[in-house]
Amino acid sequence: MADAASYEYDLFVIGAGSGGVRAARTAAAQGARVGIAEDRYLGGTCVNVGCVPKKLYSYAAHFHDTFDDAEGFGWELDAPARFNWSTLRENKKGEIKRLNGIYQRLLENAGVTLCNARAKVDGAHSLTLFSDQGEQHITAEKILVATGGWPWVPDFPGAEHVVDSNQVFDLDRFPERFLVLGGGYIAVEFASIFNGLGSETHLIYRRDLFLRGFDDEVREFTRDEMERKGTHLHFNTHISRIDKGSNGYRVTFTDGKTLEVDAVLSATGRRANVEGLGLDTLGITLDAQGKIPVNERFETAVPSILALGDLIDGPELTPVALAEAMQLTGLHFTPEPPEPLDYSRIPTAVFCHPNIGTVGLSEEAAREQHGSIRVYRTDFRAMQHTLSGSQERTLMKLVVDDASDVVLGAHMVGDDAGELIQGIAIAVRAGLTKADFDRTVGIHPTGAEEFVTLRTPDRR
Ligand code: NDP
């Protein structure tokens, strides 16, 4: 085996998404010789076809409510506001181009060699890069596979007519009638986005309630609020076929219902993006969950080949990939090993309308794991909606371990829930008690103060 200095790179990263770029930069900052290959766009899913454009579109969709609400506060909007899809789409493209440039500069300034190429792993320490310039063979002491996930679409007659979450941002024409298949993050977010932008919006999900795994009350509350805003929800059914017609697509459901729409988004999960990487020939194969198995040092079955982010088990979230990248470089490129990564109590937000913010255990999980719990909850019409006339309601909820008084979970459905739960997550992560919440003085008048003024348990 060659010694470390005989390799061209100490670390070669495949995939310049959130996790890959962070690992490359932090390893380079430790003095490692680092290269990175990317054949698509810098910044990966999050920047190009995920978190960033989604949030921009979510902002766009929120204006609908804002215009509706304005009148009660004295604003007279002379004509109904009109939405221009191509303005949003093109402005979004400009912003993403700007971010791609920032990522390029981050890598360059960190001293990372950026290769616009597709990589294939040939051996434990060797890769081939394919680009317009031809093939290049490279050696590296460690190879990090950070190629993330790719949307997956189920098979049914007419499945070729659906768009996936990579494509939906750049539709040529605004879909006046829109259908989303699925019941996860992407499905509810895009149903809310297109509903807010003015489409007649439908969501179809195969079970009885979407957002499986979230707190049940949060799921029910979200269902009611999304319906109140006009999204049509079809549960316990699936698409049996899609036929292209003269005026859009005719979608037939397994329960016999039919629907005419202009676009169908399949938001049915994502799969590890490993095709053509050559990992299987080295004995690195996916487990039953479709993930690459790694140990706590992010080492695959071939220890010099590492993997992180959406490729490995764990929440498919940008901040998780970033944390894993920091952990990985701490383990492999610094003398002092870092503390193990704690995957529990990772806060998350779903940017449906209204937003969901959540950290820690759901009521159901807490009951199962801790037995005796107290649930504090409130739902109310936010102050803003007294004058706006909107009937939108907000849900806030704390799940508390009865014996220790520790807050096990905090959940919210309402405006800016993600912004608010980020702060609450520090308290939950720190293991603070309900008494600590109670001792905290509220900020008035806010919705957030409800989290420190919930005095009486709703149920046990
Ligand atoms: P999810 O895994 O969250 O949801 C997939 C959905 O598709 C589920 O409702 C699932 O149903 C359904 N589904 C799966 N297979 C089929 C099938 N064969 N037929 C019909 N329905 C099917 O995936 P998403 O695509 O929504 O998002 C991928 C991941 O990206 C998320 O899990 C999340 O980690 C991340 N993400 C995070 C966001 C955020 O932080 N705000 C935003 C967007 C994505 P069932 O419940 O029955 O399994």
Report the C-alpha gap between 317 and 398 in whole angstroms: 23
**Which atom of ligand 1 sits closest to the CA of residue 188?**
26
User: Which of 51, 185, 211 has most ligand 1 atoms within 8 Å of CB, for mutation?
Assistant: 185
Contact 421/397 with Cβ under 8 angstroms? no
Helix (H, G, I), strand (E, B) or coil at 185: helix
Torsion of CA 435, 363, 357, 270, to 10 degrees: 150
Predicted structure pTM score: 0.97
Q: Whose CA is nearest to atom 4 of ligand 1?
A: 184
Cα dihedral sign for 274, 279, 280, 284? negative
Residue recorded with tokens 């380079």: 28
- pLDDT tens digits for range 30-58: 999 999 999 999 999 999 999 999 999 99
User: Which of 59, 206, 255 has most ligand 1 atoms within 8 Å of CB, for mutation?
Assistant: 206
- What separation in angstroms does the CA of 274 have from each of 39, 42, 291, 340? 13, 18, 10, 27
Measured in Å, residue 225 CA sits from the centre of ligand 1 at: 20
Contact 221/138 with Cβ under 8 angstroms? no
Residue 172: CB partners within 8 Å, gap ≥ 6? none
Q: What is the pLDDT of residue 268?
A: 98
Q: What is the pLDDT of residue 43?
A: 98
Q: Whose CA is nearest to atom 30 of ligand 1?
A: 316
Contact 35/112 with Cβ under 8 angstroms? yes
**Nearest CA to 66 among 83, 51, 45?**
83
Q: What is the pLDDT of residue 286?
A: 97
Provide the pairing of β-strand 34-37 with 248-253. unpaired
Contact 179/204 with Cβ under 8 angstroms? yes
Count of positions (residues) in the chain: 460
Q: Whose CA is nearest to atom 16 of ligand 1?
A: 268
Q: What is the pLDDT of residue 2?
A: 63
Q: What is the pLDDT of residue 5?
A: 81
Report the C-alpha gap between 16 and 22 in whole angstroms: 9
Contact 194/262 with Cβ under 8 angstroms? no
- Low-confidence residues in the chain, pLDDT < 50: none
Q: Is 234 a catalytic residue?
A: no
What are the pocket residues of ligand 1 if the criterion is a CB atom closer than 6 Å to any ligand atom? 154, 182-187, 189, 205-207, 212, 238, 267-270, 315-317, 348-351
Q: Which domains does the chain have, with CATH numbers?
A: 4-50+88-150+271-333 (3.50.50.60), 153-268 (3.50.50.60), 354-452 (3.30.390.30)
Q: What is the pLDDT of residue 22?
A: 98
- pLDDT tens digits for range 265-321: 999 999 999 999 999 999 999 999 999 999 999 999 999 999 999 999 999 999 999
Q: What is the pLDDT of residue 3?
A: 77
Q: What is the pLDDT of residue 1?
A: 52
